[in-house]
């Protein structure tokens, strides 16, 4: 959730930065699953994006959730920018995309119950105000200029800075949605192995969840245009992190990387101070131009870590960031995929065996192929689909070994069925959307809202 972090007090030594990350280490029985998903809101009357203010608006959505379902408000000045309840948060992305950052939960069964409850609440309020919501990786019809800007200080700073460092930063902010899952690690070696597997295999998740083949109302030549966008946002803070595959990688090396990522802001006294392009290393020395003589707190460090956007991101947990937003059923499939791969030792070993011999160049090739062609891409003499089939079955074995039962389910494996359906057809959601656009929709892309809204 993109609100100011609560990371702790003053930083007295550089060692605290790595200690902050290491404090996320947990024993296996304390590992949790945190699922996030974003969705586009729109007016039913004209299929245009929700403005912030008005009877049918983002603010009306947040107020409805607050008043009807007991969520507590999160304010920035006079602006209602989010909600919180029971360890979960509802927040706003830059263009009004509504995000649920789920509570850390024990099982995917609980995660899916949380998702179901949230989307039922959203649908209830949306129906009252004349709004709809849809899960896709990118807005299929709206131009960037059509999308409203949310009243959050950090986004104003990012909006001014993004065009200086990449060609698609504003598209990322305003026209994309994702599904993510946040997972724990036991130790520094466990973190390193999981982060390597997460980054290397993130393109497989990109392909499996690809759902953004349209831009400005037309096919854009990509199965995941969202993933293509991330290749041209800001090379200093995104990408495949080749250094994590080097011998000796650990918390200290990630700190070195994060310190070299230019800052966006510092949060003080309820407002965001523009520090875009400035150095956290200088901040540590009291030489930050935005705050001369002042040194950072651990809260500032936690904030800075939220402004780094690699394919898998390290904080006190690991965020898997490669999947496009998608329909209701597919939201629960993403945590199933990654929990199956990472939370069982045999499955983690098998997943690493798939990727451990890939070079940095091969990982980049896989990233590009998955974004452009989805399951039909190729790398190393194999199709992306063949890799995906192997990894989904490894994930299934990992979930079987976890044996987290619920009601009539012996484990969490059935949450992978949406991915098995995709693989059985060798057709991503993006492929399906392109096919329908060319056939039963007869080129009328507005019908995507009729057929794929929540």
Does residue 451 have a pLDDT over 60?
Answer: yes
Q: 400: domain range?
A: 15-261+308-449
* Any domain includes 387: yes
Residue 232, CA distances (Å) to 77, 167, 228 in order: 33, 6, 7
Residue 239, CA distances (Å) to 10, 234, 313, 374 in order: 30, 9, 10, 18
* Any domain includes 295: no
Helices (H) and strands (E) in the chain — how many of each? 17, 17
* Any domain includes 299: no
User: Residue 1's pLDDT is what?
Assistant: 44
* Any domain includes 187: yes
Question: pLDDT digit string (tens) for 214-240?
Answer: 999 999 999 999 999 999 999 999 999
Question: pLDDT digit string (tens) for 126-155?
Answer: 999 999 999 999 999 999 999 999 999 999
User: Residue 450's pLDDT is what?
Assistant: 97
Question: pLDDT digit string (tens) for 322-347?
Answer: 999 999 999 999 999 999 999 999 99
Question: pLDDT digit string (tens) for 271-305?
Answer: 999 999 999 999 999 999 999 999 999 999 999 99
- Indicate the helix (H) or strand (E) that contains 330: helix 328-342
Residue 248 binned pLDDT confidence (cut-offs 50, 70, 90): very high
Residue 60 binned pLDDT confidence (cut-offs 50, 70, 90): very high
User: Residue 8's pLDDT is what?
Assistant: 77
Query: What CATH number is given to the structural domain containing 71?
Result: 3.30.590.20
Burial class (CB in 10 A: 0-12, 13-18, 19+), 254: buried
Q: What percent of the chain has pLDDT over 90?
A: 97
CA pair distance 375, 208, nearest whole angstrom: 7
Structure-block tokens of residue 131: 């709004």
Question: What's the mean per-residue pLDDT of the chain?
Answer: 97
User: Residue 237's pLDDT is what?
Assistant: 98
pTM: 0.97
* Any domain includes 287: no
CA pair distance 233, 239, nearest whole angstrom: 10
Read off φ and ψ for residue 423, nearest 5 degrees: -70, -35
Q: What percent of the chain has pLDDT over 70?
A: 98
Instruction: Average the pLDDT over each of 1-10, 405-414, 418-427 and give the range with the smallest value.
Output: 1-10
* Any domain includes 277: no
User: Residue 4's pLDDT is what?
Assistant: 62
What's the length of the chain?
454
Domains identified in the chain, total number: 1
Q: How crowded is residue 442: how many other Cβ atoms within 10 Å of its Cβ?
A: 9
Does residue 3 have a pLDDT over 60?
Answer: no
* Any domain includes 66: yes
User: Residue 5's pLDDT is what?
Assistant: 63
* Any domain includes 454: no
């Amino acid at each position: 959730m993109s609100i100011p972090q609560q990371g702790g007090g003053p930083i007295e030594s550089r060692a605290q930065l790595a200690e902050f990350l290491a404090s996320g280490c947990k024993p296996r029985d304390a590992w949790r699953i945190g699922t996030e998903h974003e969705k586009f809101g729109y007016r039913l009357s004209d299929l245009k994006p929700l403005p912030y203010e008005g009877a049918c608006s983002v603010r009306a959505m947040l107020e409805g959730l607050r008043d009807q379902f007991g969520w507590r408000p999160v304010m920035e000045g006079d602006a209602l920018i989010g909600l919180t309840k029971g360890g979960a948060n509802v927040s706003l992305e830059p263009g009004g995309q509504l995000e649920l950052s789920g509570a850390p939960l024990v099982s995917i069964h609980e995660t899916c119950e949380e998702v179901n409850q949230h989307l039922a609440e959203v649908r209830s309020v949306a129906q009252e105000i004349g709004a709809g919501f849809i899960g896709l990786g990118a807005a299929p019809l709206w131009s960037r200029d059509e999308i409203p800007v949310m009243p959050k200080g950090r986004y104003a700073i990012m909006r001014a800075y993004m065009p200086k460092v990449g060609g698609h930063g504003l598209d990322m902010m305003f026209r994309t949605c994702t599904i993510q899952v946040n997972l724990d690690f036991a130790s520094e070696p466990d973190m390193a192995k999981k982060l390597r597997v997460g980054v290397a295999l993130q393109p497989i998740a990109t392909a499996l969840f690809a759902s953004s083949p349209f831009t400005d109302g037309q096919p854009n030549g990509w199965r995941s245009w969202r993933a293509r966008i991330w290749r041209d946002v800001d090379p200093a803070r995104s990408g495949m992190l080749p250094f994590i595959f080097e011998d000796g990688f650990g918390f200290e090396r990630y700190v070195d990387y994060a310190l070299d990522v230019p800052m966006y802001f510092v949060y003080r006294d309820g407002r965001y101070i523009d520090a875009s392009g400035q150095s956290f290393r200088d901040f540590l020395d009291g030489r930050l131009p935005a705050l001369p003589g002042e040194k950072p707190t651990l809260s500032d460090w936690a904030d800075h870590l939220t402004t780094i956007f690699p394919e898998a991101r390290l904080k006190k947990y690991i965020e898997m960031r490669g999947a496009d937003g998608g329909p209701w059923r597919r939201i629960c499939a993403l945590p199933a995929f990654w929990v199956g791969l990472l939370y069982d030792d045999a499955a983690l070993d098998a997943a690493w065996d798939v990727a451990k011999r890939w070079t940095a160049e091969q990982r980049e090739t896989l990233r590009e192929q998955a974004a452009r062609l989805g399951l039909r891409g190729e790398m190393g003499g194999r199709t992306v689909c063949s890799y995906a089939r192997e990894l989904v079955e490894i994930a299934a074995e990992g979930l079987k070994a976890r044996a987290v039962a619920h009601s009539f389910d012996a484990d969490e494996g059935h949450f992978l069925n949406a991915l098995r359906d995709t693989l059985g057809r060798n057709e991503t959601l993006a492929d399906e959307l392109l096919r329908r656009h060319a056939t039963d929709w007869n080129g009328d892309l507005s019908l995507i809202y009729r057929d794929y809204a929540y």
